[in-house]
Structure 1
Amino acid sequence: MAKNIEDIETKLWAAANELRGVLSAEEYMHIILGIISLKYISDRFKVAKEKLKETGETLADYTPREFYLTFEAFMVDEGARWDYIMQFANENEIGAKLDQAFLLLEEKNLDLAGLFNKNYNSEGLDQIKLGNVVKVFSNEDFTQKGSEDLVGRIYEFFLGKFFKDRGQKSGEFYTPESVVKLMVDVLKPMTGTIYDPACGTGGILVQAKHYIEKHGGKITNIFVYGQESVQVTWKLAKLNLVFNSFPLEDVKHHPVLGTRNADSFTADQHKGLKFDFVMANPPFNIRKWGQDKLLDDPRWEWGLPPAKNANYAWLSMIVSKLNQHGKAAVVLANGSLSSSQNNELEIRKNFVKNNKVDAIIELPDKLFYTTGIPASIWFFNNDKKTDKILMISPNAVKGRMRSKKLRELTDEDIEGIVELFDRHENGEDIKKEGIAKSVTQNDLVANDYSFVPGRYVGSVEEKVDKEAIKSEIKTLASELKQLLAEFDELVPDVKKAIGQAIAYNDDEE
C-alpha cells in the first residue's frame, strides 16, 4: 500500500484529468475515492481469505461482522471483486458494474450501508473515461495495511488542488497530519473515549488509533466519537472509521458519529456525554453559528460567546464536554489568543481562574494546505497538577518544507515539544529563552490575559526571512480586509443605535 499520499499523487492527478470538464471537482473526488475504496476493500479481502485458509475454516463459518472483527476485512461477493470489475474497464458496462459492486458490498456489510455514491452509470458520465480511471489504480497494492489516514489525505489532496476556495470561505481547513500527530502525542490517549466535535473526515480519530498501536495498546480499549455538519464529509468520516476497524456504535449502541450529519452547536449528537479526550480543528472565525438560539445553553459556563465569531463557542463547548479528568487539544486561529472584543476576554479570564488552560503552542506558518492564517493549539486539562500555563512559541520547531508553500512538523520537532510538555505536566518550571516558559496567573494579569507566547518567552536572534515577512504582510492584509468587512456590517447597527439615542433625547426634551 502507498505509505503516504505523495506515493499516489500522480495517479490521483491522472484520474482527475480523465474526469475534469465532465464533472465538478467534488463529484469526481467522490468517484475516484469510491474506486480506490473498492480496490482497497477487494485487496484486503484477498489477504483475509489467505488467512482463512490457514485456519481450515470457510466464509460460511463467519457472519460478515465476525469476519470483519477477526480479519479486519469486509466480505466481498464475486461481483464486487477488483479482478471482476477490471474485465469491464474497456466496456460501456463499467459504470453499471461499479454501481452493482457497491450495492453488493453494502448489502453484505451493514457498516458500509449508504457510504458510497452509486451513480457511476449516470447519464453524462463518460464510461470510457470512467474505465480509464479504474485502470489508473489497477496496479495499486493495498494488501498491506497502511499507517496513515488515506481517506483524509486524498480529501486533502483534492482540497488543495481543486476546491480550496470552498474551504477558505467556510473557515474549514484540513488538519495537517503532523499537527494531528503533535496533538495526539501530547495527550497520549491510550484508553477511554475520544471526541472530535468538528471531525471532518475523521483524521484526528484515526491518528489516535495509530498512536495506540505504536505504543502497544489495544484499539478495543478506546471508543472514538465525532460530529460533522457536512453530509458528504460525514460519510467520508464513517468510511474512514470502518477502514480503520473502529466500531460505529459504542457498547450502549449509541452511534459514535451520531445518527446524521449535524451542527455541533444546535444539534449536539452526543448530548449528555463527557469524554476523556477531546481533539479538534474547528472552522476558524465562523461568523454565524446560531448564538441567538442558544443564549441560555449550559455549555456557556464561562460566559456567552460573541454572536459573530464562533471561536470561543468552540472552546467553551469543548471544555464542557470533558469529564472530571478530561484533556483537550484545539487548533484555532491566532486571533483567539488575545481578542478582547465582546465577551472573549471574560471567558479567557474565567478559564484561567478555574485553572482549565494547560498550554498554548503557537504553530509556525505554512502548515495548512489552503490557508495562511496563523494558528495555535490550546490545551485544556480538568486535572492539572500545577496552576501555571506552558507557553510555547513557533521557535520551538523548525519543520520541513514539503514545497515552497507547505511545511510539516518533523518527528524531532514533535518529540521536543512533547518533552517540554511532559516536564510541565510533572510540575517542573519551564524556562527556555525564546522557546517556552511556564507562566503564572500573575503574569497573565500583567499582560491583560494575553495568551500570545511571544509576550512571555522572550526572543531569540534569527536571520530575517524575507519570504516569511511577505507571507505575514499578506496574512495581515487578509485579516484587515475581513475586519473592514465586519465593520461595514456593523455600520447600519451603529447608525440605528445613534438614531434611537437621538430620538430618545428628543422625546426627553
Structure 2
Amino acid sequence: MAKRKAGTAGGWRIRGEELWKSIQDLLPGVDVAAYKAHLLALIFVRQATEAFDARREHLKAEFAHLPKESQRQYILDQHDQYRAHGVHWVDEQARWNWLTEAAVQDDISRRVDEAMVQLENDNDDLQGVLPSGFAKLAEAKSGALAGLITLVDALASDNAPDRKPGTENVLVQAYDYLIPRFADKEHDVKGISPTPPSVAALMTELIEPGSGSVYDPCFGTGTLLASAAVFARRNGGEVAVFGQELRPEAWRVGQLNLSIRGVEIRAGEKAASTFTEDRHKSLTADFVLANPEFNQPDWNGGGLTDDNRWQFGVPNAGNANFAWIQHAISKLGPQGAACVIMPTGSLSNNDGTNAKIREKLVTGGTLECVVTLPGNLFYGGNGAGAGIASCLWIFRNGRNTAGTKNSVLFIDARDIAGTSVTRSRNELGFADRQRITDVYHRWRGGTDGGYQDQPGRCRAASIAEIEEHGWVLTPGRYVEQAEVMVDPEFTRQEIKRLTENLREAFRESDRLQTSVLEQLDRLEPGDPQQP
C-alpha cells in the first residue's frame, strides 16, 4: 500500500481505497465475514500497544526520581496506572512487536489466539470481545494472517511520533473507513448497519452531550456513542457511556470501535435484547442516542404489554418503532434529552395505537422537535435508514423555556443534499448540519434566541394545531412552502423548448399514422398475408 500522509477526511477516502485494495489483494475471493473481526482485532492490538507504550514512557519519566530500580519497576507493573488513564494493560506476549515476530513463525495463528486471550484476561472490558480462531483465517488463504499483520504495521507507521493523543490517528481512521465498508460489502447490515458519521455528528450537535451519561439501547458498531464521546472531549468534558446490543457480532465490533478511541462502555456481559433483558434497568441517563432497526417485527411485544416503560401507550406488537421511542424516554433523567432515528412513516401511520401514542408524546410535553432528513445518507442493505426516508425525533424532559414548552418545532431538511461521497450516498458537512442545528438552538433559546419560522425550512406549531392535523407529525404538514423566485427570461425559454418538443412529438405521431395507413392500404380484402 502506498504511503500517504494522514490528513483530511477527503484524503482518507483515497487512503481508505488503497487500504481496501491491499486487503482484497491479500484475500482475493475470501468472504468478508471470514476475516472482518480478525482484522479489526489486529488493528486494535496495534493501537492498544501504541497507547500502552506511550503511557509506560510517561511513567518512566514521572517516577525517574525514585532511587531504586525495584520501586520504578513496581510502578510500571501496576495495571491501575494504565487503566485510570483509559489505557489497556498489554502483556509482553500480547504486544504488537510479539505479533510481528510471530508473523514469520509456523505457529502464528496459535500465538495470535493466545495474545487475544491474554488481553481479555488482563482487561475486564475486553472479556468476550476479541475473536479467536485465527487458524481459520490462515486456512482461508496461505500467508493471509502474516500479510494482514504486515499491512497493519505499515498502516500504523504513518502515525506521527509527536501526534497528540486522539488526533490524526490512522488506526482509528481505518476503523471509520472499514466498518461501513464491511457492511456494504457483506450486504448483511440488518440491525448492525453503522450510523453514518455525518448523521451521528448531527444528532450529537443537536442534543449536545457535553458531560454526564450517554446511553444507546442498540449501539451496533458504536458510532453514536463514539460521536458523543468525541463531542464531549472537544468541548472540554467527559461522558460515561452505557449501551446494549442484541447481536453478538455487533456487540463485539461496537466495543472495539469505542475501545480503540479510549472510550469505555458499560455494555453488559454479553449481547442481549434491550426489551426482554434490559441490562440497565436502573439507569437514569442525561442523553440517549439511538438508531434502531426500523419497523422491527420480532421484538416480543406480545409478552410485554404490561411493561412500565410504555408511559404513552402499549406499542404495536408487530412493530417496535414506538417501543424503541418509549424505551429511550424511560431512561432519561429529569433534564435528559434523547435523539432517535425513525422512518418517516412513524410520523403519520395509524394502526389504532400510533396516533394515540403520538398524541400523548405531544400533550405530555416530551416531544420537542422533529427533523425530516435528506435522502441517500445511509449505507446500503436492509439496516436502519437504508433506502427508507428517515427522520429524527428529539425528546427532552423538564422543558420550561418560554415560548417553546407548548409547541413542537418542525424542521424540513430534505433539500439539504450534502456532498456526494459515492454514487449512492451523500454526507452532511459541518455547514450542512449547521443549517439544521442553528434553527433548533435558536428556537430553544426562546424569545431571546432570535428564532423565526422560515418557509420551506422550519415552523413551530402549537399543540392545538397538531391536534387539528390528527396528531400527524410530518414536518411538511406544518412548514410552509418557500416562495419560488421565477426568472421571466428562463420561463420564456423553457416554454419555447417544451413547445418545440411537443410539436416534434405531434409530427412524429403524424408520421406513424401515415405509415400505418399505408400498410393497411396494401392489404387486399380477404388476403391472409400479413404486411
Scaled by the length of structure 2, the TM-score of the pair is: 0.79
Check the 8 A contact 1:200/1:234 in 2, yes or no: yes
Secondary structure of 2:310's counterpart equals: coil
Going from structure 1 to structure 2, the CA distance change for 1:149 and 1:309 (only over 3 Å counts) comes to: farther
Shift of 1:352: 0.9
What is the aligned counterpart of 1:228 among 245, 260, 267? Answer: 245
Q: RMSD in angstroms over aligned alpha carbons?
A: 2.4
Shift of 1:67: 2.9
Distance, in Å, in 2 between the alignment partners of 1:149 and 1:453 is 36
Distance, in Å, in 2 between the alignment partners of 1:304 and 1:115 is 35
What is the aligned counterpart of 1:33 among 40, 45, 48? Answer: 40
- Name the counterpart of 1:18: 26
Distance, in Å, in 2 between the alignment partners of 1:417 and 1:437 is 12
Matched, 1:202 2:185: no
Secondary structure of 1:431's counterpart equals: coil
Aligned-partner residue type, residue 368 of structure 2:
D
Matched, 1:347 2:357: yes
Check the 8 A contact 1:193/1:223 in 2, yes or no: yes
What is the aligned counterpart of 1:284 among 280, 291, 294? Answer: 294
Shift of 1:107: 3.1
- Name the counterpart of 2:95: 81
- Name the counterpart of 1:61: 75
Distance, in Å, in 1 between the alignment partners of 2:77 and 2:204 is 34
Check the 8 A contact 1:337/1:452 in 2, yes or no: yes
- Name the counterpart of 1:414: 433
- Name the counterpart of 1:310: 320
Matched, 1:435 2:457: yes
- 1:23-66 CA distance string (max 9 Å, x none): x4223101111111122122222322332332235453045542
Worse-superposed segment, 352-361 or 47-56: 47-56
Distance, in Å, in 1 between the alignment partners of 2:35 and 2:21 is 11
After TM superposition, the structure 1 = structure 2 runs for residues 178-193 of structure 1, keeping only pairs within 5 Å, are: 178-193=198-213
Matched, 1:159 2:180: no
Distance, in Å, in 2 between the alignment partners of 1:257 and 1:113 is 11
Matched, 1:402 2:402: no
Going from structure 1 to structure 2, the CA distance change for 1:307 and 1:110 (only over 3 Å counts) comes to: closer
Aligned-partner residue type, residue 44 of structure 2:
S
Distance, in Å, in 1 between the alignment partners of 2:182 and 2:24 is 9
Shift of 1:363: 0.6
Worse-superposed segment, 204-213 or 389-398: 389-398
Shift of 1:127: 4.5
Distance, in Å, in 2 between the alignment partners of 1:132 and 1:338 is 52
What is the aligned counterpart of 2:149 among 129, 134, 153? Answer: 134
Shift of 1:21: 4.0
Aligned-partner residue type, residue 229 of structure 1:
L
Aligned-partner residue type, residue 241 of structure 2:
V
Check the 8 A contact 1:92/1:128 in 2, yes or no: no
Distance, in Å, in 2 between the alignment partners of 1:341 and 1:368 is 27
Shift of 1:247: 4.0
Shift of 1:194: 1.2
- 1:62-110 CA distance string (max 9 Å, x none): 4554232455433333332323322343443221221222233233333
What is the aligned counterpart of 2:119 among 105, 108, 111? Answer: 105
Going from structure 1 to structure 2, the CA distance change for 1:59 and 1:444 (only over 3 Å counts) comes to: farther
Secondary structure of 1:457's counterpart equals: coil
After TM superposition, the structure 1 = structure 2 runs for residues 292-331 of structure 1, keeping only pairs within 5 Å, are: 292-331=302-341
Shift of 1:18: 2.6
Secondary structure of 2:335's counterpart equals: strand
Distance, in Å, in 2 between the alignment partners of 1:192 and 1:433 is 36
Distance, in Å, in 2 between the alignment partners of 1:44 and 1:211 is 21
- Name the counterpart of 2:470: 448
Going from structure 1 to structure 2, the CA distance change for 1:193 and 1:88 (only over 3 Å counts) comes to: closer
Distance, in Å, in 1 between the alignment partners of 2:324 and 2:174 is 27
Secondary structure of 1:324's counterpart equals: strand
Check the 8 A contact 2:251/2:271 in 1, yes or no: yes
Q: Which blocks of at least 5 consecutive residues in structure 2 are unaligned?
A: 65-71, 381-385, 487-531
- 1:290-340 CA distance string (max 9 Å, x none): 111101111112111112211111112211221221111000111111111
- Name the counterpart of 1:175: 195
Going from structure 1 to structure 2, the CA distance change for 1:47 and 1:56 (only over 3 Å counts) comes to: same
- 1:139-164 CA distance string (max 9 Å, x none): 1225644456764653212001x212
Distance, in Å, in 1 between the alignment partners of 2:73 and 2:352 is 62
After TM superposition, the structure 1 = structure 2 runs for residues 140-155 of structure 1, keeping only pairs within 5 Å, are: 140-141=155-156, 142=159, 144=163, 145-146=165-166, 151=175, 153-155=177-179
Worse-superposed segment, 393-402 or 206-215: 393-402
Distance, in Å, in 2 between the alignment partners of 1:247 and 1:268 is 19
Going from structure 1 to structure 2, the CA distance change for 1:312 and 1:110 (only over 3 Å counts) comes to: closer
Worse-superposed segment, 83-92 or 298-307: 83-92
Distance, in Å, in 2 between the alignment partners of 1:242 and 1:372 is 30
Aligned pair count? 448
- Name the counterpart of 2:234: 214
- Name the counterpart of 1:483: none
Check the 8 A contact 2:365/2:406 in 1, yes or no: yes
Aligned-partner residue type, residue 47 of structure 2:
Y
- 1:426-478 CA distance string (max 9 Å, x none): 22453011011111112212222221111211223499xxxxxxxxxxxxxxx
Distance, in Å, in 2 between the alignment partners of 1:46 and 1:117 is 23
- Name the counterpart of 2:525: none
Shift of 1:240: 3.1
Distance, in Å, in 2 between the alignment partners of 1:304 and 1:382 is 20
Scaled by the length of structure 1, the TM-score of the pair is: 0.82
Q: Which blocks of at least 5 consecutive residues in structure 1 are unaligned?
A: 249-255, 464-509
Matched, 1:239 2:253: no
Check the 8 A contact 2:370/2:410 in 1, yes or no: yes
Check the 8 A contact 2:215/2:243 in 1, yes or no: yes
Secondary structure of 2:333's counterpart equals: strand
Which protein has the larger Cα radius of gyration, Structure 1 or Structure 2?
2
Distance, in Å, in 1 between the alignment partners of 2:19 and 2:196 is 21
Check the 8 A contact 1:16/1:29 in 2, yes or no: no
What is the aligned counterpart of 1:357 among 349, 367, 371? Answer: 367
Check the 8 A contact 1:292/1:307 in 2, yes or no: yes
Aligned-partner residue type, residue 222 of structure 2:
G
Distance, in Å, in 2 between the alignment partners of 1:191 and 1:136 is 37
- Name the counterpart of 2:398: 383
Going from structure 1 to structure 2, the CA distance change for 1:258 and 1:75 (only over 3 Å counts) comes to: closer
Shift of 1:17: 4.5
Give me the identity figure in percent: 28
After TM superposition, the structure 1 = structure 2 runs for residues 475-486 of structure 1, keeping only pairs within 5 Å, are: none
Secondary structure of 1:269's counterpart equals: coil
Secondary structure of 2:283's counterpart equals: coil
Aligned-partner residue type, residue 158 of structure 1:
F
Matched, 1:373 2:388: yes
Check the 8 A contact 1:64/1:108 in 2, yes or no: no
